[in-house]
Structure 1
Amino acid sequence: MGAAGSEAATGLVGRVDLSRLVNPSSVAIIGASDRPGSLGSRTVANLLDHSDFTGTAYLISRSKKTIHDLPCYQSVLDLPESPDVALLVVPAAQTLSVLRECALKGTRFAIVFTSGFGEMGEEGKRAEAEMAQIGRESGMRIYGPNSPGLCNLNRRLGLMFSPSFHLDQFAGPIGLATQGGGIGRCFLQAMERGVGVGLWASTGNEVDLTVADFIRHYADDDAITVIASTMEGVKDGPAFVDAALYAAERGKPVIALKVGRSDYGARAVASHTGSLSGAAEVNSAVFRQAGVVEVDDMDELIDTAALFARKRPTGRERIAVYGFSGGGCALGADAVGNAGLELAEFSDKTLARVREVLPDYAAVANPVDATSDILTRTEIGYESLRAVADDPDVGLVLYPFPCDYEELTEAIGASIAQVQRETETPILPVWMSDRLGPGYDELVKGGLVPVRSVRNGTAALRRWVERGRWTHQEGWRPLGVASSGGERIVHTEPTAKELLGRHGVPVPASGVATTADEAVAVAERVGYPVVLKVVSAQITHKSDVGGVAVGLADAGQVRAAYHRIREAVPAARPDAEVGGVLVEAMASAGLDVLVGVSRDPVFGQVVTFGLGGVLVELFGDVSRRLLPLTPDQARALVDEPRCAALLHGVRGGEPGDVDALVDLLVNVSRFVEANAAVVDELELNPVRVLPAGQGVVALDAVLVTAGSVEATQ
């Protein structure tokens, strides 16, 4: 399909090898210090005291002879070799000159901690543009600015100034890529409940290297199995989608939290990193299409990524709820249902075993209330939980803990951890109490990563199961073509329909008339009844200016309508150039839908589908996809909105021709793909969907391009 194509923010094309960045053999700290509490001192301590760094460290300070018993150099230019990584702990005013020295020295990667650039306004953006130019001209890759650095916890390496690096070191299978530093540190500190992060990159303002670069790196890192990300903006939409799809092809799910989705959040993002936040609805649609699991908050990001790290879903998982509190079990069962998940149905063997070991008054059908007896008789809790976890219909066990009973819940936690070691079915504990007792610690030590509320647990469960159902379209990539920037052309409706018709989009039989006699001749050729519409590139909403007449059944009605339109339109819009009147065959009755294409500034061309006419604005019930569309994607686009039920027939209603609608969507996609650099806006509203087997027809068309359009396929 389309090429994955726009260049990176700096213009450097293709994938970058980050291995010497995340595991360097030599590191230069520019701005090294021994002043307690300073950023330069913390950076030195993190690398030399709190890391297992076995390479060569070079300390650069203009005021010190030695730091940490190592000699200091005046400049990076004085070093005996070109360092793999330079850490810039210098004021903003010195950053560009230091970067130039790094480039002259042949430094491979420069990490710029300093803030005060693009997030501060136009002057800062100009400085970032100069940074990017330094990188382009030298081949040095730039990380940041406005970044706390990165840490490779699987190798116990900290290239950062954080005062918490020595505390937050819990290695694991999750690759974390964030733009913000504090929010990434929040994820790291989920280590307190057993969430392990192998490598964390916090890319800041992304003058060069972006989150997408690290997603690709994690996809190739055998020690990383799950990728988590928080983003304030996406600098290169097609590159991000390509990276997410590459990760999916490597079997590694991407879990993402996109902030800046509200107007308030978007303004906060602009002041923080200067990123373009993008339309929230488009972001979400793109994420779904690329298999990215979108979450709504940090706790959900952590819970969901941790669940994926434990086991990959198939999408067919059904849930068992098990616990020692009847209320907790009922709450869990409700949450499962409200999340759109299904409770498992136990086999006769499972039911028999659970009945055998639990007391008579226990509830043994799903949900299982094992009663408080298991608090003092952990062996029956172990046996019954093991039977539930081993049931063939159970994909995961949700285990609510409403309260802490100290040594009693400690024994239960140890028993659950024992069951988890003996079964492949994930057990998800929900620790609901604010008191984190020894039972909680047993769950953490057992690798069960307890969540803190039933709602959070089922939210993660829903994301987990839904991602298991996602199917990757092999080889698909977004168009990723920037606008040509040519002269803006608003095509008339007849021109737009002619172009689309040549690309297989069904349009009514029609003709343009400049006299009443010509209008009658066209009407008799296409067949009555007909519709008349004014032809003008300046008029989009034709009915608002008296430019439309429908249901015309004979020559007299056509003549009268023609004259009414030619009189009404100039009176309402004297500025508009009128190129005649379009005469079209009137379509049979059916369901009207909208098909629209717009150019998103971040991701490229996006198609929108929903109910036609004014209903789309009233209900906002639409679905979106990046172009190009495969037939399967087009069908999923049609089936996604709630209004899809109308197309398939409601309460005995006649179904519409969905197959023909899917064909139209694919042909619209092909038209845009053939003219990707110039198509900025396309709207078919309405598209009349006729009864099954009778086809579809685009009744109206608006086309705006940045240059001329290819006339044929």
Structure 2
Amino acid sequence: MATPVALSTNVQTETLDLSRLVDPRSIAVIGASDRPNSLGARSVANLLDHSDFQGTPYLISRTKQSIHGLDCYQSVTDLPEAPDVAMLVVPAAQTLQVLEDCAGRGVRYAIVFTSGFGEMGEEGKRAEQEMARIGRESGMRIYGPNSPGLCNLNKRLGMMFSPSFQIDQLPGPIGLATQGGGIGRCFLQAMERGVGVGLWASTGNEVDLTVADFMRYMADADDIEVIATTMEGIKDGPKFVEAALYAAERGKPVVALKVGRSEYGARAVASHTGSLSGAAEVNSAVLRQAGVVEVDDMDELIDTAALFARKRPTGGERVAIYGFSGGGCALTADAVGEAGLELTAFSEQTLAAIGSVLPDYAAITNPVDATSDILARPEIGHESLKQVAEDPGAGVVLYPFPCDYGELTGQIGESIAQVQRETDTPIVPIWMSDRLGEGYDALVKGGLVPVRSIKRGTKALSRWIERGRWSVDPDWSPLPAGRTGGDLVTFTEPAVKSFLASHGVTVPPSGRADTADKAVDVAENLGYPVVMKIVNSQITHKSDMGGVEVNLRSAADVRLAFDRIAAAAVAAGVTTDEVLVESMAPAGIDVLVGVTADPVFGPVMTFGLGGIFVELFNDVSRRMLPLTPAQARSLIDEPKCAALLRGLRGSGPADVEALADLMVAVSRFVETNSGRIEELELNPVRVLPAGQGVIALDAVLVMNETNGDAL
């Protein structure tokens, strides 16, 4: 098991005890059957014929006296003891009553296979609410509905109705938590390339137990090293993030495939599990923040999780390439460069050792083309590959196989597996041929998990190395999602700036005026030049309707500007009682700092170029709140526009530290008003040269108006 790092005080460490679900002492099959190919018969066979279940099975059938040589009971209420787990293989119409019976008998966990609930519409959602009530009031935990079940392959235990459970059994260090059944079994069947799964939980519609619950369980499980997950929707964003952080602190990387990232996919997700898929950009940003390695498809999920199961990365790994095909090595080198990875430069000792083994015409600098000589003399391939893997700068070795040579390739595969047993450096075979011959089989048996294309290999490698650079922020845990309720209220700009200023956000000196004369008085008190803006909480884009006047340098300018704003208000059909007069800010770089209430993850901050550029370039970064100073700096560094702040083509750097401080102050303001803020936008924020600070030039705030006075 990976060595856990010290737990921070912010990540909740109370873990739901799922041990009696994952490894129960007694199991009841409700709806057991002996009718061939029925779900009830398959469930019984998987438990009694294809598992090594050491506990007590109970079969419940209303029509049979005995099944599989075991006496049947009419109801779960007739059992001599309360079983740890009840598997419900019953029609949807009977499910609620059977759950009531299970709860009354004291069942700990109910696995509901049945479909036809939340994914079917409002009536199904109401039934799920009733399921949740039954579980909540009784203390019984519910798994499903719309679930294929659960299998603990490291214990050879299958609580599922799948006809392929008996053949999909390769134990291993990967824990798999999915919502969908078919996509989870797709991962399970990667056993054909040597990927072993220790525990698979497929949670379905998640009326109670969720993917996050199993992630937390797997984080503590001694037989699980890596957690892989596919998610269609996330019911509780902060809970999921807490589980991911907990796993990270326990030394367990999480690799995730989020389904429903496009409009089409989101629709499919809704019809499948009734899940809320969420905004793809926000999902991806939060996953990165929590240290979750997000991937794009199933192959990448499998390849990446398998690589993590072989070794933990440091983040500084450089790549060595070795093969017997010059073209294959060159293609791999191209892919390494395109992926932004770095080839290592071999030490003089390594070069000398390789050169003493391989023929004179072999290429011994990275990449190493050992030539076809190793087909005739596998021993030279073994020795030279070992020297490459043991080079001080080699963090990983890519070994492309462009074609299969039958028995000869089998010998090479066995040789590579032997080298891997002699070194800690991961050797990643890339099997490019459509013919899966003896060499492929040897690599699989040797535990090297060959990938099927160069692009896939370098993609998984990139994800692996990048995750090695990430570390848990010990000062961070997410804010809760959800809103406090109440009507939405939009505040005026002066009010918003007053709130922000009280939380440490710098705003321009200003004053309000309801006549031109008073506007002049304010301007002369502030000193010219000034800016004048219309004050109206319903206008968020004031400049679009002529409600902003800038660079006013005299009393005459101020009077004319006041009249123009009043006329623009009449033309736009809005009313205003006053204007805001502010000191005009010095030149700088304008950026956006915004917060929105995401329905899944709660308040999320967005950062990018200010003004119209945020919409034009869509060059933004996001973080789930609250924000620590370290996260604020990484938020600033992420988008391409960060180059402007660092200084570009001779221009000096901007005050990035002050910008980070402003972001943290905004985060504190949101945290103080947790659950109330719907939208907060500071656009633009003027970032001045280094050491001169930042100024929030405009601000919009939409909140749930409640009795809270935290503002």
TM-score normalised by the shorter chain: which range applies? over 0.9
1:93 deviation in Å? 0.6
The answer to whether residue 334 in structure 2 is matched with residue 334 in structure 1 is yes
The answer to whether residue 658 in structure 2 is matched with residue 656 in structure 1 is no
In structure 2, the partner of 1:546 is 546
In structure 2, the partner of 1:198 is 198
Deviations 1:10-34 (A, max 9, x none): xxx9642100001001100000000
Please tell me whether the aligned partners of residues 4 and 479 of structure 1 are also in contact (alpha carbons under 8 angstroms).
Answer: no
In structure 1, the partner of 2:615 is 617
Please tell me whether the aligned partners of residues 2 and 479 of structure 1 are also in contact (alpha carbons under 8 angstroms).
Answer: no
Please tell me whether the aligned partners of residues 3 and 479 of structure 1 are also in contact (alpha carbons under 8 angstroms).
Answer: no
1:571 deviation in Å? 2.1
Please tell me whether the aligned partners of residues 627 and 664 of structure 2 are also in contact (alpha carbons under 8 angstroms).
Answer: yes
Q: Secondary structure at the match of 1:395?
A: strand
In structure 2, the partner of 1:257 is 257
In structure 1, the partner of 2:4 is none
Please tell me whether the aligned partners of residues 60 and 75 of structure 2 are also in contact (alpha carbons under 8 angstroms).
Answer: yes
Letter paired with 1:36: P
Please tell me whether the aligned partners of residues 499 and 712 of structure 1 are also in contact (alpha carbons under 8 angstroms).
Answer: no
In structure 1, the partner of 2:408 is 408
In structure 2, the partner of 1:10 is none
Deviations 1:143-182 (A, max 9, x none): 0000000000000000000000000110000000000000
In structure 2, the partner of 1:107 is 107
The answer to whether residue 432 in structure 2 is matched with residue 439 in structure 1 is no
Please tell me whether the aligned partners of residues 503 and 712 of structure 1 are also in contact (alpha carbons under 8 angstroms).
Answer: no
Q: Secondary structure at the match of 1:500?
A: helix
In structure 2, the partner of 1:634 is 632
- 1:252 and 1:458 mapped to 2: Cα distance? 22
- 1:475 and 1:148 mapped to 2: Cα distance? 39
In structure 2, the partner of 1:41 is 41
Deviations 1:616-664 (A, max 9, x none): 1011000000001110000000000001000001111121111111111
Q: How does 1:469-618 map to 2 (within 5 A)?
A: 469-573=469-573, 576-618=574-616
- 1:108 and 1:80 mapped to 2: Cα distance? 15
Instruction: Note the residue ranges of structure 1 that are not aligned, 5 or more in a row.
Output: 6-12
- 1:471 and 1:305 mapped to 2: Cα distance? 18
Aligned-CA RMSD value: 1.4
- 2:563 and 2:216 mapped to 1: Cα distance? 63
- 1:456 and 1:508 mapped to 2: Cα distance? 52
With 641-650 and 701-710 compared, the bigger mean Cα shift is at 701-710
Please tell me whether the aligned partners of residues 593 and 683 of structure 2 are also in contact (alpha carbons under 8 angstroms).
Answer: yes
Evaluate the alpha carbon distance shift between residue 710 and residue 42 of structure 1 in structure 2; reply closer, same or farther with a 3 A threshold. Answer: closer
Deviations 1:296-329 (A, max 9, x none): 0000000000000000000000000110001100
1:441 deviation in Å? 0.8
Letter paired with 1:641: P
- 1:694 and 1:477 mapped to 2: Cα distance? 31
Q: Secondary structure at the match of 1:299?
A: helix
Please tell me whether the aligned partners of residues 344 and 366 of structure 2 are also in contact (alpha carbons under 8 angstroms).
Answer: yes
With 432-441 and 538-547 compared, the bigger mean Cα shift is at 538-547
Evaluate the alpha carbon distance shift between residue 711 and residue 501 of structure 1 in structure 2; reply closer, same or farther with a 3 A threshold. Answer: farther
Please tell me whether the aligned partners of residues 118 and 274 of structure 2 are also in contact (alpha carbons under 8 angstroms).
Answer: yes
- 1:325 and 1:19 mapped to 2: Cα distance? 50
In structure 2, the partner of 1:166 is 166
Q: How does 1:53-64 map to 2 (within 5 A)?
A: 53-64=53-64
1:710 deviation in Å? 7.4
- 2:545 and 2:641 mapped to 1: Cα distance? 30
Please tell me whether the aligned partners of residues 510 and 584 of structure 1 are also in contact (alpha carbons under 8 angstroms).
Answer: yes
In structure 2, the partner of 1:346 is 346
1:105 deviation in Å? 0.5
- Which of 679, 682, 700 matches 1:681? 679
1:487 deviation in Å? 2.1
Letter paired with 2:118: G
- 2:434 and 2:322 mapped to 1: Cα distance? 21
Please tell me whether the aligned partners of residues 485 and 706 of structure 2 are also in contact (alpha carbons under 8 angstroms).
Answer: no
Q: How does 1:109-258 map to 2 (within 5 A)?
A: 109-258=109-258
1:712 deviation in Å? 7.4
Letter paired with 1:61: S
Q: Secondary structure at the match of 2:566?
A: helix
- 2:264 and 2:417 mapped to 1: Cα distance? 43
- 1:545 and 1:475 mapped to 2: Cα distance? 44
Please tell me whether the aligned partners of residues 236 and 481 of structure 2 are also in contact (alpha carbons under 8 angstroms).
Answer: no
1:708 deviation in Å? 5.6
Letter paired with 1:612: G
Please tell me whether the aligned partners of residues 502 and 711 of structure 1 are also in contact (alpha carbons under 8 angstroms).
Answer: no
Please tell me whether the aligned partners of residues 113 and 147 of structure 1 are also in contact (alpha carbons under 8 angstroms).
Answer: yes
Please tell me whether the aligned partners of residues 533 and 542 of structure 2 are also in contact (alpha carbons under 8 angstroms).
Answer: yes
1:379 deviation in Å? 1.1
1:568 deviation in Å? 1.5
State TM-score, norm by structure 2.
0.98
Please tell me whether the aligned partners of residues 673 and 710 of structure 2 are also in contact (alpha carbons under 8 angstroms).
Answer: no
- 1:169 and 1:544 mapped to 2: Cα distance? 64
Please tell me whether the aligned partners of residues 99 and 131 of structure 1 are also in contact (alpha carbons under 8 angstroms).
Answer: yes
**Number of residue pairs the alignment of both structures matches:** 704
- 1:285 and 1:145 mapped to 2: Cα distance? 30
- 2:116 and 2:324 mapped to 1: Cα distance? 54
Deviations 1:189-217 (A, max 9, x none): 11111100000000000000000000000
1:220 deviation in Å? 0.5
Q: Secondary structure at the match of 2:627?
A: coil
State TM-score, norm by structure 1.
0.97
Letter paired with 2:336: V
With 688-697 and 264-273 compared, the bigger mean Cα shift is at 688-697
Instruction: Note the residue ranges of structure 2 that are not aligned, 5 or more in a row.
Output: 1-7
Deviations 1:435-471 (A, max 9, x none): 1101111111111010000011001000000000002
The answer to whether residue 285 in structure 2 is matched with residue 302 in structure 1 is no
- 1:284 and 1:2 mapped to 2: Cα distance? 26
The answer to whether residue 687 in structure 2 is matched with residue 697 in structure 1 is no
